[in-house]
Amino acid sequence: MTGKAQAQTVLRLSHITKHFGALTANDDVSFELKRGEVIALLGENGAGKTTLMNILFGQYTADAGEVEVFGQTLPPGNPRAALDAGVGMVHQHFTLAGNLTVWENIVLGTQALGALRLDAKAAKAKIAALSKRFHLAVDPESKVGRLSVGERQRVEILKALYREARILILDEPTAVLTPQESDALFATLREAVGQGLSVVFISHKLHEVMAISDRTVVLRHGKLVAERATSETSREELAALMVDGEVSAPKIEAMPPGPALMRLAGVSTKGEGRAPGLHAVDLTLHAGQITGLAGVSGNGQKALSDLISGLANPVSGRFEIAGEPVTDWSPRRALARKIGRIPEDRHHTGTIADFDLTENAVLETYARDFARHGWMDWKGARAQAEGLIGTYDVRCPGPDTRIRLLSGGNMQKLILGRVLETAPRIILANQPVRGLDIGAVNYVHGRLAEAREKGAAVLLISEDLDEIMKLSDVIHVISEGRLSPGFARGTMRADELGQWMAGEGFAQPTEAAHAS
Amino acid sequence: MDIFEILTSAAFWAAAIRIASPLIFATMGELICERAGVLNLGIEGIMVAGAFAGWIAVWAGLPLWGGVAVAFVTGMAFGLLHGIFSVPFGLSQHVVGIGVTLLATSLTFYTYRVVLPEVSSPPKITAFQPVEIPLLSKIPLIGPALFNQTPLTYAAFILVGLVALVLYRTPLGLAVRAAGESPSAVAAQGLSVTAIRMGAVIVGSGFMAVGGAFLTLSAFDSFFFDMVNGRGWICIALVVFGVWKPGKALLGAILFAAFDALQIRLQQTTIGAVVPYQLFLMLPYILSILALVLMSRRAEVPAALMVPFNKGER
Amino acid sequence: MRLEPIADPSLARRLLPPVLAIAGSFLVASLLALIAGGNPLAVFGAIIKGAVGSKFALLETLNRATPLIFTGLAVAVAFRAKLWNIGAEAQLYAGAVVTAVLGTGVLQWPAALLLPTIAILSMLAGALLLLGPALLKTRLGVDEVVTTLLLNFIFLLFVSYLLEGPLKDPMGMGWPKSPRLIEEARLPRIVEGLRLHWGFVLALIAAVALWIINTRTTLGFEMRAVGQNAEAARFAGMPVTGVILKTALLSGGLAALAGFSEVSGLKGSLTLDISPGYGYTGIVVAMLALLHPLGVVAAALFVAAIFVGANAMSRALDVPTYLADIMLASALLMMVLAILLTKFRVVRD
């Protein structure tokens, strides 16, 4: 896909700047996309990639700068204009209506609202033709709610193609796909580019960027820091450009595993909507060990985390903590059994946004430690919050600050402190560093390693395989609710784990095998 | 008269259809709002306002259909108010709805007193009269029940078909359904969620008001303060009972009205002599609660009902 | 145009909404008064005079505020936990019925024993009445707005049945009213000769008690947490369902006290018109008070003054008394809008 140096410029972003309150999400970003080219927009979480694309697509309005498509300046804040100009966007979170059919989702908004009849026949014919041309197999009559994630993504791409998009923007498209599905997506994109489309591919995964793109644009803290022809750069260079400073994983010294603190034997749980439950999972967490859970997102991580944090009960199997079977499980019981929980979503599950730091600091412990006969001990609670702020380096004006005003890193430090202060025996850390800056990442990792040394059993759930491999003593892979055997540190390469993540190697065939 | 006799009499079913008519209008109105993602608790007050507006317009000299139009426009005005608060501003649909009901009701009563100071009983108008449909009205039982009604009842039935047609067979209906299901899908396709929802709330409120006007222009010939009497809340239950589908909501309204007609007749029977009449009057409300409970397990609620949509939110 | 959150609104900005809402409602009322042929200044003058212009007027306002404080508190406590209790009207009548049943001589106890017993049993009745919808909400996910609304109609018909049947006063000359309460079951007047009973003091105590519950107890903490973010509350180990049910009991109980206070303190017997919609007006009161218990007292006094004043005004001028209802409805709507504008600012794109 090289040798198109003379090709026409189809998209030009000039000096895009966007602020959200005090945060600068995009800072004077400019680049161009040529016809038949794939540009990778590379950057860490929070680097401003999604914001930039939302501005391009008219969902946000830039504070400064402009977007030009095929030589025409787009009016700001108007998705319709972007669509009409030939821009199609596949969002990270799909924008599909679950209880409408595939063809309804695709046709939505393409026929005049004043029209007296919905022309379903012509629409379905066109969809069938597009499916065939771009190898995007999907049944136009089925309800979107019943499709697999991979199929939904195909619907999203079909939506763009149906509108005759000439420029496709894909925001982290592989985050929800298995490696095989990703390969199929790449094949589709190559097909599209071969037919004259141009693609902006947003990602933070280096190997994908290297595999699919012609050029790479690197964003860091909202600024465009580098632009490279992909063939002339390397993974190492891109990694260095993307990351500001080093992720310095704490040293994990080999330690003999301590006693088993939690044991799951053949545990199954109910799935929730589209999220799978657990299928006969065997897992043992040992004192003084970090157990890493790798897997593509949406494969049962939530089910396992819900089970351990007390939100869900097992349907079958044995669930023991410190040798005692667990019954009548709830978050409060989990806390009583000394399980510390760092939830996946710190904004909505871990904290209450409009509560102040004091209130958030005692959210889990108020009943036991900061109340007597139903009366709150606010003095004690405040002292506790002040202690956490000091010990865990939470940067904030004070304990009376509403927690919504804190940065993600500081919010996570407070949650971490809240967990560690109770001296937990078992720590569930679900995506503990997602979206944090490097400093906070290193801090959180360091504290988790420290807890391990003190003899806690840590379960680290992450979609970042590097993070898992650096920190874990034992690694399990989860796929469609099934758990792989544990692999000791250093015994598996990333690509071998990747195969497990794709669902290979599991003993029993899965019920929910993808039709794809 | 025993129950069997009642249930097989054409007069009974004619009454049921008559009682169902205002509910059908208002239920369709509510259904349109909810399909677009807005719970409109202003319905009760909007029906009161519609009942009054239609009636006072006819009293002032407008033809009956003019009264219906005035009611429709009045409803749209309150729909606009509800829409502005609940859609672009995304305020609590519960509180806004209650507010609109209180405002519409009090404005109606105020206007009544201003227009008709010191009347002891409200003046009467000449209401819609039943129109017999040739041939069809000769069908036994169904004929006199369905085809000897006022034009406004026929309009209610036509409206159901129309709403179903628009919702399922036009691009506009698709957009409305999508707005109640996944507003982000609508926005991503370049449509304005705000415009679609506003439109749905405004038009839906118009139909609610026509439901109210049915009471003064067709069912009765005058306006009383308590005449809506919770019918709006019942319609909200009917939308749930009809799982947000026009046809099923229509059946629900008729079924419900049949019970209402039945309780009125049962009051005249031997049962009515022993059971206090208040119990019969309670039945519609109790049935509504039962309908809600019965349907609670069905997860067919528009996914984005009561979820405000803000573009540029993060 | 879109809304952008304001990180940390100032105190002035947070106290602005009630002021704006009240000002706005006065504006609406002025327009309507003009339409009805009244001079707005004269109308408001008459309202103020009618509400606080004399000792009698002032006492009338305080009397009218009493049930509104109770229903306002009932709504405030429920709304704070995002339990949409629109059934305060029925709960009020539940308390009134219990008072009318127990206060007419069934229990021949001294007042010091009888009054607390009746009050507590009234609260229980109101609490149980809201427990049903609350259970339907937590167990089956049935929207409590509609069920509580429908229960209002059902319960009023039940009261109507009672008043025409078992509770009918044989000496009532055919009117649907209950027999008069015995002297021991009557809330005495605070000062002999002044028409203001201890119900008002009870309402003030309830407001302070609720304020203490909100700010000082674990239940208050839990109610706020569940209202703000039920998911986080559940994750943190709070018994979310239990908190919602407790909130329902508290809310229903408070509303029932309004009925108790009206029958035992003011009216002395139960009729079908002891509440001209106090349950619904409680929503306005609670919203104007920003759901703060002490604010409820202020808001209830204001709302009562409008009602009492509007009555007097309507007698003096030819402007219908429904002007008061319009003012309150528009104040409610403007209040929610104004609250929004304290948390967000409108940004032009």
Q: Which residues partner with A283 through β-bridges? A: A264
Higher pLDDT, C82 or A512: C82
The pLDDT value recorded for residue A146 is: 86
- What is the model's pLDDT at position A59? 82
How far is residue A104 from each of residues A108, A120, A143, B135, B174, measured CA to CA in Å? 6, 8, 9, 41, 7
pLDDT tens-place string over residues A11-20: 999 999 998 7
User: Does the distance separating the beta carbons of C218 and A371 come in below 8 Å?
Assistant: yes
Q: What is the pLDDT of residue A513?
A: 39
On the question of pLDDT at C3 being above 70, the answer is: no
Contact call for B171 and A111, based on CB within 8 A: yes
C284 to chain B: closest CA residue: B99
Residue C247, pLDDT above cutoff 50: yes
Mean pLDDT of the region B160-180: 97
C contact test, residue of A307, A308, A352, A360 with most C CBs within 10 A: A352
Query: Which of these, A192, A195, A198, lies nearest to A41 by C-alpha position?
Result: A198
Question: Nearest C-alpha of chain A: how many angstroms from C259?
Answer: 29
Q: Flag whether residue B167 sits within 8 Å of chain A, measured between CB atoms.
A: no
CA-wise closest residue to B227 among B10, B15, B55, B27 = B55
Shortest distance, CA C218 to any CA of chain A (angstroms): 5
Q: Which chains touch B (3 or more CB pairs under 8 A)?
A: A, C
A341 contacts on C by Cβ (under 8 Å)? 235
What pLDDT was estimated at residue A512? Answer: 43
d(CA C349, nearest CA chain A) in Å: 6
Of the candidates A82, A98, A112, the beta carbon closest to that of B171 is on: A112
- Which residues of C fall within a CB distance of 8 Å from A376? 216-218, 220-221
Average pLDDT, chain C: 92
Min Cα–Cα distance to chain A from C8, Å: 8
Q: Is the pLDDT of residue B295 over 70?
A: yes
Interface test with C, best of A366, A379, A405, A419 (most C CBs within 10 A): A366
Q: What confidence score (pLDDT) does residue B1 get?
A: 56
- In this predicted structure, the answer to whether residue A511 has a pLDDT above a threshold of 50 is no
Q: Are the Cβ atoms of B171 and A84 closer than 8 angstroms?
A: no
* Integer Cα distance of C212 and C209 in angstroms: 5
Closest CB to A109: pick one of B177, B184, B190. Answer: B190
B175 in reach of chain A (CB within 8 A): yes
Contact C225 A371 (CB under 8 A): no
C198-216 helix and C240-261 helix, angle to the nearest 10 degrees: 170
Three-state DSSP at C284 gives helix
Distance from CA of B137 to the nearest CA of C (A): 37
Chain A residues close to C236, C-beta within 8 Å:
331, 363-364
**Domain segments of chain C: what residues?**
69-291
User: Are A59 and B169 an interchain contact pair (Cβ–Cβ within 8 Å)?
Assistant: no
pLDDT at B199 over 90: yes
Residue B237 pLDDT greater than 80, yes or no: yes
- Spell out which residues of chain A touch residue C219, defining contact as CB-CB under 8 Å: 374
Across residues B56-74, what is the average pLDDT? 97
Closest Cβ opposite residue A309 in set C5, C221, C235? C235
| A160: chain B residues, CB-CB within 8 Å | none
CA-to-CA dists, residue A175 to A292, A438, C183, angstroms: 19, 21, 75
Residue the block writes with tokens 């899908």: B185
Q: Label the pairing between strands A316-321 and A260-268.
A: antiparallel
B91 and C142 within 8 Å at the Cβ level: the answer is no
- Report yes or no: A402 and A353 within 8 Å, Cβ to Cβ: yes
Residues A455/A287, Cβ–Cβ less than 8 Å: yes
> Which whole number is the average pLDDT over A40-58?
85
Q: Which residues of chain C does A366 touch, with a Cβ-Cβ cutoff of 8 Å?
A: 218, 221
Which of A19, A60, A306, A363 should we substitute to test contact with C (largest number of C Cβ atoms within 10 Å)? A363
Q: What percent of chain B has pLDDT over 70?
A: 98
Does domain B3-113+149-295 sit in CATH 3.40.1210.10? no
Q: Measured between CA atoms, how close is B107 to chain C, in angstroms?
A: 6
Per the model's pLDDT, the better-predicted residue between A3 and B201 turns out to be B201
pLDDT band at residue C152 under the 50/70/90 scheme:
very high
Provide the pLDDT for residue C114: 95
Question: What percentage of chain C has pLDDT greater than the value 90?
Answer: 76
Q: Are B43 and B105 in contact (CB under 8 A)?
A: no
Kindly state the average pLDDT of the residues B178-201: 94
Range A293-318 average pLDDT: 92
CA dist C60 to A283, C54, C55, C64, C263, Å? 71, 10, 8, 6, 16
- CB pair distance less than 8 Å for C153 and B229: yes
pLDDT at residue A244 in the model: 64
Q: Which domains does chain A have, with CATH numbers?
A: 9-242 (3.40.50.300), 247-338+424-516 (3.40.50.300), 357-422 (no CATH)
Question: A75 to chain C: nearest residue by CA?
Answer: C349
Q: What is the pLDDT of residues A96-124, one digit of tens each?
A: 998 899 999 999 999 999 898 999 999 99
All residues of chain B having their beta carbon less than 8 Å from the beta carbon of residue C36 are 110, 114
Q: What's the pLDDT band for A510 if we cut at 50, 70, 90?
A: very low
Q: What average pLDDT does the segment C303-310 reach? A: 94
Binned at pLDDT 50, 70 and 90, residue B313 comes out as very low
Dump pLDDT digits (tens) for C193-207.
788 999 999 999 999
pLDDT digits (tens, 9 = 90+) for A245-290: 666 677 888 888 999 999 999 999 998 766 789 999 999 999 999 9
B191:A80 CB<8 A = yes
Contact at CB, A331 and C232, closer than 8 angstroms: no
How far does the CA of residue B141 sit from the closest CA of chain C (Å)? Answer: 33
* Percentage of chain C modeled with pLDDT above 70: 97
- In the numeric block, the tokens 């009493």 are attached to C66
How confident is the model at residue A463, as a pLDDT? 82
Number of neighbouring beta carbons within 10 Å of residue A109: 25
Interface test with B, best of A52, A113, A152 (most B CBs within 10 A): A113
Answer whether residue A516 shows pLDDT above 70.
no
Per-domain boundaries in chain B: 3-113+149-295
The CA distance from A17 to A372, in Å, is 53
Pick C322's closest partner by Cβ from B98, B113, B311. Answer: B113
* Identity of the residue numbered B217: L
Both tokens assigned to A272: 């929730």
At A470-480, the pLDDT tens digits run 999 999 999 88
Would the CB atoms of C232 and A350 count as touching at under 8 Å?
Answer: yes
How does pLDDT run across B249-288, given as a tens digit for each residue?
999 999 999 999 988 888 888 877 788 899 989 998 999 9
**Binning pLDDT at 50, 70 and 90, where does residue C107 land?**
confident
Q: Would you list which residues of chain A are within 8 Å, Cβ to Cβ, of chain B?
A: 20, 59-61, 79-80, 82-84, 89, 91, 93, 95-100, 104-105, 107-118, 159
Query: What was the pLDDT predicted at B157?
Result: 97
**Cα of B70 to nearest chain C Cα, Å:** 20
Over 60: is that where the pLDDT of A509 sits?
Answer: no
Rg (CA), chain A: 25
* Per-chain mean pLDDT for chain B: 92
Q: How confident is the model at residue A143 (pLDDT cuts 50, 70, 90)?
A: very high
Region C180-194: mean pLDDT is 89
